[in-house]
Structure 1
Amino acid sequence: MSNRLHFTMGQLLDDIANRFPDNDALVYADQGLRYSYLEFNALCERVAKGLLALGVRKGDHVAIWATNVPQWVVLQFATAKIGAVLVTVNTNYKSVELEYVLKQSDATTLFLVSGFKDTDYVETLYSVVPELRDAGPGQLCSERLPFLKHVVFLGDRQFPGMRCWSEMESLGRDIEDAQLAAIASSLDEHEVINMQYTSGTTGFPKGVMLTHHNIVNNGFNIGECMRFTEKDRLCIPVPFFHCFGCVLAVLACVTHGSTMVPVETFSAEVVLRTIEAERCTAVHGVPTMFIAELDHPNFGRYDLTSLRSGIMAGSPCPIEVMKRVIRDMNLTEITIAYGQTESSPVITQTRTDDPIELRVATVGRALPDVEVKIVDIENGQTLPPGRQGELCTRGYLVMKGYYKMPEETARVIDGEGWLHTGDLAVMDENGYCKITGRIKNMIIRGGENIYPREIEEFLYSHPKVADVQVYGVPDIKYGEQVMAAIKLKEDTVATAEEIQDFCRGSIANYKVPRYVKFVDEFPMTASGKIQKFKLREMAIKELNLEAANSVETA
């Protein structure tokens, strides 16, 4: 029996605002900002009208490059109410990556904050689109980004060529409710509404096209696994630009009338303070976040007794960390979720009432209405319980495809609709899965997916680099770190620092190799294929990473 929801995201928010009008929807404790569901829905509608006045139409691609600011969540629903596709941009991106995503996505509009960490977003955008400085708002004509017309700064400061956020509400004042309602009623739940960029299984980042139906239902089932109700309050320190933030957090809450309590940028103490101040019943995080919270010197000062559940996901979860979280943070019903952006994203999740050994040593079983099978990587045959193979999934959660990349889409979704994850797993007779490795060479560092080829292609542009192989090595804090083995051109010398400095400012900091090794040759098979696993094995010995490599995870 299917319990699927058949809402667009706009209809979902309307429904919840009608059912729980006075419930807190969105709370930023440190900013004194608190919207009920009635107020939040009204704000989203005002901004949706502002988007229409700006010229944004159904099917247009609207990019957002921002930390977990309140406007992010508003835009997630405002764009959905008019059928515009929200393109999420990684906050760690630099100029090369920003230009790639804006160009590949055909984004017509960009919303951005002033910056994050060491990156000035405004100056970065001007470097990519110099024409913006001299353009009137909405008059941008860029040679490199021909689709981009509008840039809106998520604040009150005025920048050349940009509008500011306050205009988004005032712009739409002349648009009638009936016009917005007519657009909303014309939308279909199976239309694309969200585009997340992921390295997928090969090559450069791809735009994963997700529909209302994909993410509304995934969010609902995730919340069901945590036993969410309108009484729950979720602390959200994970970034909105990931599915972890905008689906596992935002949509898990909104589908249940629960309260969203975001943290703008991660800080262990701010998370602890927020949980206590808002009496949060749940908190999400990647393992590194939970470790930082547990190890914070002021950990013992905070009252976490309101906590009950949440999700640890994003990278393999060390079993000992899960045990500490359950014991020391009162998260007796915490769950582990596993999936990938292409599956909206959660495929399997543990349940709150699972025995502790299943909740710490597996990534759970399939969500409702989701099929999972393990197949032989050689012949594609379905394997019996206990045998290792590739994890495949099918159902409402599978993406529409990669934007403008039909061949890449066909590589991961087969003719019968099965999404091939590229992950190795073992499933027991009750359907509980343990992820055992990856067929692909993806590096997962602190919840960030990193595809080696992208870094290799960039390093090839260094004048001294003849050949390069990038791979992941184990790390106790982040799960994995990036390592580069480099063959230099003849008669050149270089240092690790030189290579790292070359990367900084051009590619995201998390992609900059933590370790650089100079080699004369690479280990190869008889047919000439480079064996990255041997490079990894050598690095574990040379860098004394045996302890990190032995950390047991689900």
Structure 2
Amino acid sequence: MILKTDPREVNIPLAMNDRCLYVHTGGTTAVPKICIVSHRQMVWNSFDILATGIVGAFRTVLITFPFFHIGGWNTFTPLYHAGITSVLMRDFNPGLVLDLIHEGRVENFGAVEAMLQFLIAHPKFAETDFSRLKGIITAAAPCSKAVMKVFLDKGVPISQTYGMTEAGPSNCGYVARSDSMDELLDNSASIGTSMFHCDSKIINQESGAEVEHGEIGVLCLRSSHNFDGYLNDPARTGKVIQEDGWIYTGDLAQQDPDGLLYIRGRADNMFISGGENISPEEIENALMKHPAVAGALCAGIPDPKWGQAPVALVVFHAGMSAAEDELKAFCRDHLADYKVPKQIRPATELPLTGVGKLNRNAVVEVFS
């Protein structure tokens, strides 16, 4: 297409507010929406990523995220502005990624937890030389401490970032204050702080008022890289873009005394059982404390007595297992009785969406 274009027509004047991309959201909680992304959004987002130091002085970065998702563009654009070489993958190939790492051909890459688990499970992983890999950034969904520890033990700095197409694509990131792997491990669950040109606040879901420090509420973001709304959907746009330009993320968050932010779940993932609100993420975190459980995914399914009841899929560590009654008893030590899953089933892997996010709708289908 480029070769066939008249060179006299290549340099087209653009304004910052001109449309750059139409990008679908992940669609994990509803029908995917089409976001209007301007050049202003992508340029300011790139500047914030580079200024914050999330993308360091790397020579080559592997782009693992697809370009039908904002993650691909969000990785590529700041690299382009910084003159950093981008290595593209058509499909995520764990063996090829490990080869690139072993040969020192990439110094950094971003990934969702599922990708990291595929790397860990690959036969080449144990023999791979990680000494020239300078960092890993996780995104799209929270990554477990256990998975991050595997890479920290190999001397690879790894930290979490946070963002969404509507407000970023990147808004927060953990930037280490030292070279200590212990610091990264201690703060592995944190998404860090908001970027230089991004404001954040945590509000009460019902009242809209800011919560007290340390309380859980809905994270709201405001920056120069907000999106321009959903294509042909003013009603849903109006629900997300709130007064004074704040973006309502729908993610439950908490801030610790040091100012670090933590994602605690999705407001729209919560379901009501017997009149009580239940967060599926809380149940998943409890299950993953069991030594045999490598991963867990929970959802609410229709129940004639309680309205909805919690159920869960679990994936066990290699060579380990646990009976359903044992897991339920374990949950009772960590959860209120009404939060203990009514059913727990083993799975070989947790269901994911096309962009690598956990798929709760698939859990509902399994138990239906």
- Give the 3-state SS of the residue equivalent to 1:397 in structure 2: coil
Aligned residue in 1 for 2:175: 351
What is the CA–CA distance in structure 2 between the aligned matches of 1:265 and 1:202, rounded to whole Å?
A: 24
- Give the 3-state SS of the residue equivalent to 1:196 in structure 2: strand
Contact 1:290 1:325 in 2 (8 A): no
Aligned residue in 1 for 2:156: 331
What is the CA–CA distance in structure 2 between the aligned matches of 1:281 and 1:442, rounded to whole Å?
A: 39
Aligned residue in 2 for 1:305: 131
What is the CA–CA distance in structure 1 between the aligned matches of 2:220 and 2:83, rounded to whole Å?
A: 32
Contact 2:59 2:84 in 1 (8 A): yes
- Give the 3-state SS of the residue equivalent to 2:218 in structure 1: strand
Aligned residue in 2 for 1:171: 4
Aligned residue in 1 for 2:10: 180
Amino acid paired to 1:347: N
What is the CA–CA distance in structure 1 between the aligned matches of 2:39 and 2:26, rounded to whole Å?
A: 22
Aligned residue in 2 for 1:194: 21
Contact 1:523 1:535 in 2 (8 A): no
What is the CA–CA distance in structure 1 between the aligned matches of 2:248 and 2:269, rounded to whole Å?
A: 15
Contact 2:35 2:165 in 1 (8 A): yes
Work out whether 1:411 is the aligned partner of 2:200: no
The Cα of 1:203 is off from its aligned counterpart by 4.2
The Cα of 1:442 is off from its aligned counterpart by 8.6
Aligned residue in 2 for 1:480: 297
Amino acid paired to 2:297: E
TM alignment of 1:128-167, pairs within 5 A: none
Aligned residue in 2 for 1:11: none
Structure 2: any 5+ residue segments left out of the alignment?
Answer: 272-279, 313-337, 351-368
Contact 2:138 2:161 in 1 (8 A): yes
The Cα of 1:485 is off from its aligned counterpart by 4.8
TM alignment of 1:236-385, pairs within 5 A: 236-247=63-74, 249-328=75-154, 330-332=155-157, 334-353=158-177, 355-357=183-185, 359-385=187-213
The Cα of 1:347 is off from its aligned counterpart by 1.8
Contact 1:288 1:478 in 2 (8 A): no
Q: What do residues 477-532 of structure 1 show as CA deviations (whole Å, max 9, x unaligned)?
A: 67637x7957xxxxxxxxxxxxxxxxxxxxxxxxxxxxxxxx7x3733xxxxxx4x
- Give the 3-state SS of the residue equivalent to 1:421 in structure 2: strand
The Cα of 1:357 is off from its aligned counterpart by 4.6
**Distance of aligned partners of 1:170 and 1:322 in 2 relative to their CA distance in 1, 3 Å threshold:** closer
**Distance of aligned partners of 1:200 and 1:369 in 2 relative to their CA distance in 1, 3 Å threshold:** farther
The Cα of 1:294 is off from its aligned counterpart by 1.9
- Give the 3-state SS of the residue equivalent to 1:255 in structure 2: helix
Amino acid paired to 2:225: L
Contact 2:54 2:173 in 1 (8 A): no
Q: What do residues 451-494 of structure 1 show as CA deviations (whole Å, max 9, x unaligned)?
A: xxxxxxxxxxxxxxxxxxxx99959667637x7957xxxxxxxx
- Percent identity at matched positions? 27
The Cα of 1:399 is off from its aligned counterpart by 0.9
The Cα of 1:361 is off from its aligned counterpart by 2.2
What is the CA–CA distance in structure 2 between the aligned matches of 1:210 and 1:261, rounded to whole Å?
A: 24
**Distance of aligned partners of 1:258 and 1:359 in 2 relative to their CA distance in 1, 3 Å threshold:** farther
The Cα of 1:431 is off from its aligned counterpart by 2.6
Structure 1: any 5+ residue segments left out of the alignment?
Answer: 1-167, 444-470, 487-518, 525-530, 550-554
The one of 243, 253, 256 aligned to 1:425? 253
What is the CA–CA distance in structure 2 between the aligned matches of 1:222 and 1:442, rounded to whole Å?
A: 31
**Distance of aligned partners of 1:407 and 1:363 in 2 relative to their CA distance in 1, 3 Å threshold:** same
- Give the 3-state SS of the residue equivalent to 2:45 in structure 1: helix
**Distance of aligned partners of 1:396 and 1:279 in 2 relative to their CA distance in 1, 3 Å threshold:** same
- Give the 3-state SS of the residue equivalent to 1:283 in structure 2: strand
- Give the 3-state SS of the residue equivalent to 1:401 in structure 2: coil
Contact 2:191 2:261 in 1 (8 A): yes
Aligned residue in 1 for 2:48: 221
Contact 2:24 2:32 in 1 (8 A): yes
Amino acid paired to 2:4: L
Out of 274-283 and 386-395, give the one that drifted further: 274-283
Contact 2:253 2:265 in 1 (8 A): yes
The Cα of 1:305 is off from its aligned counterpart by 1.2
Q: What do residues 264-299 of structure 1 show as CA deviations (whole Å, max 9, x unaligned)?
A: 211211110122335311121111111221222221
Contact 1:350 1:358 in 2 (8 A): no
Amino acid paired to 2:89: V
Contact 1:350 1:365 in 2 (8 A): yes
**Distance of aligned partners of 1:283 and 1:227 in 2 relative to their CA distance in 1, 3 Å threshold:** closer
- Give the 3-state SS of the residue equivalent to 1:264 in structure 2: coil
Q: Which has the higher helix share?
A: 1
Work out whether 1:523 is the aligned partner of 2:306: yes
Q: What do residues 425-458 of structure 1 show as CA deviations (whole Å, max 9, x unaligned)?
A: 1112433111112111299xxxxxxxxxxxxxxx
The Cα of 1:392 is off from its aligned counterpart by 0.4
- Give the 3-state SS of the residue equivalent to 2:143 in structure 1: coil
